[in-house]
Amino acid sequence: ILCHISGQDKDWDTNIQFLPASDNKKLEKKKGPGIVGAVIGVVIFAAVIALMTGLLVWHFHFRNDVRLKRMYSGSMRITNQGFIDAYENSNSSEFKALARQVTSQLKSIYSKSPQLAKYYVGSTVQAFSEGSVISYYLSEFDVPQGQEASVDSAMSSMDKLVDKEQRRVARPSNSLVLEDVRSSALDTRLLSTPFSRYMQFSMHTKPNEIGQIQSPGFPNSAYPPNTFIQWQLRADPKHIIKLDFDTMNLEEDCSNDFIKIYDSLVAIESSVMDEMCGYHSPSQPLTFLSSGNVMLVTMASDKENDYPGFRAKVSQVPPVTCGGNLMGEKGTFTSPNFPSYYPPRNLCQWSIQVPNGNAVKLTFKTFLLSEPGQKDGEDCLKDYVQVNGKKFCGEKPEGTVTETSQTNTMEVVFFSDASYVDRGFNASYEAINAKDPCPKQFQCRNQRCIKTELQCDGWNDCGDMSDELDCKCKPQDISCKNGLCKPMFWKCDGVDDCGDQTDELNCGCKSGLVTCKNNECVSEKHLCDGIDNCGDGSDELNCGRSTGVLCSDLTYKCKNNKCIDTVNPECDGTPDCEDGSDEENCDCGRSLFKTSRIVGGENTQDGEFPWQVSLHVKGAGHVCGASIISPQWLVTAAHCVQDDPRTRYSQPGTWEAYLGLHIQGNTAKNVVKRNLKQVIAHPNYNAYTYDNDIALMELDSPVTYSDYIRPICLPSPQHDFPAGSTVWITGWGATREGGFAAKVLQKAEVRIINYSVCNDLMKAQLTSRMLCAGVLTGGVDACQGDSGGPLSSPSGSRMFLAGVVSWGDGCARRNKPGIYTTVTKFRGWVKEKTGV
C-alpha cells in the first residue's frame, strides 16, 4: 500500500524514445552519396540531440506536473450502523459492502473540496471497530510538487467538510451518518523508505488470556531489514488493550528503525501514543494502555542491522478508573498505570481533604508529562496536571513541583489528550499547619522544606536556589560577589563555582606578576626573557622559540632531541619541531562525531568514542574498559588485571576485548572481538594505594581501523592538562553508585580539578601519578565497571588520553571527584613495552 514517488518515471520513458541510435543505422544502410550522406547524418543527429535537450529542459523547467504520492490515514464514526462480528474480517461480504459505502462517501466528500477533488486517487478501508462502527481508512492523492501544504490544510479541515456534506438536504436516505472524523498525513518516513516487505498481523485478545507479539525472528535472530509491519490489536467491547514490552532493543536512531504505537487501528498521527527506538532496560516497566478497544503497533526498519527487536504481551483489561476522594492526614496517589505510561484521552479528578484547621501540601515525587510540541511548563495545552486551578506539564526534577492550599481541601485534575503519553506522576499529600508550613525547617520559594543547616551551604538544596540567596557567608566560606556562599575548598580549583568567577580570582599572584607552574610569582617582565626566573622554566614557555631551548620537564622534546617551548605541540597541525617530529604518528584521537558539550551522563552515538574498548571476562561479560592506542595495543588499569582466588585476571586467556562496541550484547557488524596475547600490569602497581594503576594488553592479531575503531592520541610526557579544562569520561559502568551497568556506552563531561584542592578533598591519598576530574557538586562521575577506560581530553580537533579510570570514594558524591592514572607519567613505559 505504501510506495514511492510515481508519475515522473512514465514521462521520462516517453522522452527517452527520442534516442537516435537506430536512425543513424538506417542512414548508414542506404547506399548514397558518401560525404553528403555523412553530413546529412551528422546534421540529423545534431538536430535530434538538440530536440532531446530541449525536451529535457522543458520537462524539468516548465512542466509542472511532477507528482508525489501523498497518503492520509483517517478514522470516522458511523453512527447509524451497528457493529457485527463479520466486520472484523476484511474478506467477509459484510466488510466489503460497508467498505464500498465508506469509500463512495469519502469520494463524494473529497469532491466538495477544490484542493482535494483534483488530486484524489482513491481510498481503501483498513478496518472497522465497535462504537457504533468506527471505520479506519487510507486515502491516496497524487499531488503536484509544491501543492502538498494546500492538500494537508484541506485534509485538516475534513471534519468541517463532513459536517457540510451531512447537512445536505438531498442526502441519499441510506447514506452513512458520520462524526468524529480524524485524519492526518502518514509519517513521511513510510513514504520515503522503499520497503521491500510489508507484513500485517491481527489479534483479538480473549478474556483472561495473554497473547504475544514480537518482531520477526525474535529472539533467535535480528529483525529483517527494509520491512514495515503492523499489528492490529483488538479487545472485546468495554475493554482496553494492555501492551507490555519485556524486550525492546532496536537501532538507536529513530530516523532509521522505529516502533510506533497508535490509539487507533490505522496510523493516524494525531492518535500516536509513543514512538520508540534504541534499548529499554527491562528493569523499568514499559506498558501502554489504549483508550478504547483497539491499538495499532507499527515497526519500520531500514538497512541491515544486528538488533534483536522486541517482544510484548497483549491482553485485555477493564478501562482504567482514577480519581476520587482522599481523606486523612496524608496519603499518596498516582496517574493511571504509573510507573508505566498512562492511557490517552483520560481525565481524572481527585478531591483531597485534610482535617479542619490544616492546609494541604502536595508534592510530586515523579513528574513526567512530556509531549512533542508542548514546551515544558508553557501553556500546557496537551497533557497536564491542574492543582488549585494552576496547570503543570512537561518533565520536572524529583520533588520540585509542590503546591500548598489555603484551605483544608485541594482539587487535582489529570488530563491526557489523544496523542503521546508519558509515565505520569506519583504524588503525596499531607496536612500542614497553614501558618507554619515548614516547622523547624527552611521554606524554599518553591514551597519545599529543607533542613535549616542546608541554607547558605553552597548547595542548591531547594532546586530553585532560594536557599542560597541573600546569604551572610560563614567565615570559612567564600563570599561570592553575586551573594552566593561556596565552600572554601572550591576556591582556585579551576572551576567557576560562584558563577561570576569570584572564587577563581586572585588565585595566583598579584597584578603585574605572573603565576609559574610551581605557583611561584615572577614579574610579567620576566616572561620569555631567556632566563628561567620561575625555577621550573614555565616563564619561558610558549615564547615561539622552536630551537635552542633548554630542555626541562615542561618543554617538548623533538625526535632530534632538541627541545621547543610550545605547550602541547603534538598533532596540532603545525610542525613546531625543526624535524617536524611533533606531527608524526598523528592518525589518532578523531571520530566521526563532534562531541557535544552536555553535562551529565548520557548515551554516546555509535562511533563517537572509537577508542573505547569493553573488556569481557570470557563467559562473564563486561568487567572493565580500555583504550585503543595502536592496531594491536590497549591501555587499561592495573587493578583490572589482578588475580583473585576465583579468576586469573592477569592471564590473557581470561579476557576477550570488544572493539567498536556500542551496545553491550549487540555484536553489530562494526564490532571486532579479539583474544589477548599479553597482559602487562605496571610492575610498581600498588593494590593498597592504587599507585601506578595502569596496564597494557596486546591483541592476538592487529585490527583494521574503521569509523568505529580508531586509536586515541597518547600525550607526550610534558602535555599539559590544566585544572578547569573539559574532559570526557566514557564507559559501560554503573549509572549510579551500587547500580546496574549501562547497556549503551555512556559519556559525561567533567573537568580536571586542581591537584592540591583534590588532594585535600581525598584526605591526602593522591600520589603524583594520579589526577582528579569530576564535578564537585556531585552527580557526574565514573563508577564501577568504567575502570580502565579513557579520560579523553580534547586538544585542537583530537582527543588525548589524559587518564585511565582508576578509583574514587563511591561514585558521583559531593566533593569526591574521580581519580585517574596520569598517562603522561607512563609515556616512556608504554613506548618501551609496546613501541607505540
**Where does this chain bind ligand 4AZ (CB under 6 A)?**
781-784, 786-787, 805, 807-808, 811, 818
For the CB of residue 818, give the shortest distance to ligand 4AZ in the complex, in Å.
4
Residue of 687, 685, 661 whose CA lies nearest to 673: 661
Torsion of CA 599, 602, 603, 608, to 10 degrees: 20
Say if residues 248 and 276 touch (Cβ distance below 8 Å).
yes
Q: Which three cell numbers stand for residue 107?
A: 469520494
Task: Give the nearer residue to ligand 4AZ in terms of CB position, either 530 or 810.
Answer: 810
Q: Which three cell numbers stand for residue 214?
A: 514480537
CA distance 294 to 242: 10
Cis peptide before 172 (omega within 30 of 0): no
Task: Give the nearer residue to ligand 4AZ in terms of CB position, either 590 or 813.
Answer: 813
Task: Give the nearer residue to ligand 4AZ in terms of CB position, either 264 or 787.
Answer: 787
Q: Which residues pair with 257 in a beta bridge?
A: none
For the CB of residue 635, give the shortest distance to ligand 4AZ in the complex, in Å.
16
Question: 294-300 and 227-234: which strand pairing?
Answer: antiparallel
693 catalytic per annotation = yes
For the CB of residue 737, give the shortest distance to ligand 4AZ in the complex, in Å.
8
Spatial neighbors of 173 by CB under 8 A, at least 6 apart, are: none
For the CB of residue 800, give the shortest distance to ligand 4AZ in the complex, in Å.
20
For the CB of residue 741, give the shortest distance to ligand 4AZ in the complex, in Å.
11
For the CB of residue 648, give the shortest distance to ligand 4AZ in the complex, in Å.
19
For the CB of residue 728, give the shortest distance to ligand 4AZ in the complex, in Å.
15
Backbone φ, ψ for residue 771 (5° rounding):
-135, 160
CA distance 186 to 366: 34
Residue of 639, 791, 801, 603 whose CA lies nearest to 711: 801
Task: Give the nearer residue to ligand 4AZ in terms of CB position, either 559 or 736.
Answer: 736
Spatial neighbors of 227 by CB under 8 A, at least 6 apart, are: 195, 196, 197, 198, 199, 216, 299, 300, 301
Say if residues 143 and 68 touch (Cβ distance below 8 Å).
yes
For cell 607526550, the residue is 716
Candidates 271, 466, 787, 792; catalytic one: 787
CA distance 199 to 223: 13
768 catalytic per annotation = no
Task: Give the nearer residue to ligand 4AZ in terms of CB position, either 249 or 636.
Answer: 636
Say if residues 513 and 523 touch (Cβ distance below 8 Å).
yes
Cis peptide before 339 (omega within 30 of 0): yes
Candidates 263, 467, 576, 693; catalytic one: 693
Task: Give the nearer residue to ligand 4AZ in terms of CB position, either 2 or 752.
Answer: 752
Task: Give the nearer residue to ligand 4AZ in terms of CB position, either 76 or 783.
Answer: 783
Question: 612-617 and 655-659: which strand pairing?
Answer: antiparallel
CA distance 615 to 788: 9
Task: Give the nearer residue to ligand 4AZ in terms of CB position, either 296 or 782.
Answer: 782
For the CB of residue 773, give the shortest distance to ligand 4AZ in the complex, in Å.
10
For cell 582527543, the residue is 799
Task: Give the nearer residue to ligand 4AZ in terms of CB position, either 537 or 818.
Answer: 818
For the CB of residue 781, give the shortest distance to ligand 4AZ in the complex, in Å.
4
Q: Which residues pair with 636 in a beta bridge?
A: 695
For the CB of residue 409, give the shortest distance to ligand 4AZ in the complex, in Å.
48
Task: Give the nearer residue to ligand 4AZ in terms of CB position, either 382 or 616.
Answer: 616
Task: Give the nearer residue to ligand 4AZ in terms of CB position, either 260 or 816.
Answer: 816
565 catalytic per annotation = no
Question: Please, how many CA atoms are within 13 Å of residue 189, restricted to the half-sphere of its CB?
Answer: 19
CA distance 273 to 421: 5
Give me the DSSP letters along 736-756: STT-PBPSBPEEEEEEEE-HH
Candidates 622, 639, 662, 682; catalytic one: 639
Q: How far is the CA of 120 from the CAs of 5, 104, 391, 693, in angstroms?
A: 15, 12, 43, 71
CA distance 395 to 740: 24
For the CB of residue 821, give the shortest distance to ligand 4AZ in the complex, in Å.
11
Largest alpha-carbon pair distance within the chain?
A: 118
Task: Give the nearer residue to ligand 4AZ in terms of CB position, either 99 or 748.
Answer: 748
Q: Which residues pair with 127 in a beta bridge?
A: 136
Say if residues 671 and 658 touch (Cβ distance below 8 Å).
yes
Question: CB nearest ligand 4AZ: which residue?
Answer: 808
Q: How many CB atoms lie within 10 A of CB 581?
A: 18
For the CB of residue 782, give the shortest distance to ligand 4AZ in the complex, in Å.
4
| Sign (positive or negative) of CA dihedral 750, 755, 757, 762 | positive
For residue 547, the one-letter residue type is T
Question: What does the angle CA 624 – CA 630 – CA 634 come to, to the nearest 5 degrees?
Answer: 20
Question: Please, how many CA atoms are within 13 Å of residue 302, restricted to the half-sphere of its CB?
Answer: 14
Cis peptide before 219 (omega within 30 of 0): yes
CA distance 258 to 305: 13
Task: Give the nearer residue to ligand 4AZ in terms of CB position, either 308 or 733.
Answer: 733
Burial profile 305-314: b = 16 or more Cβ within 10 angstroms, e = fewer: bebbbbbbeb
For the CB of residue 710, give the shortest distance to ligand 4AZ in the complex, in Å.
24
Catalytic annotation, residues:
639, 693, 787
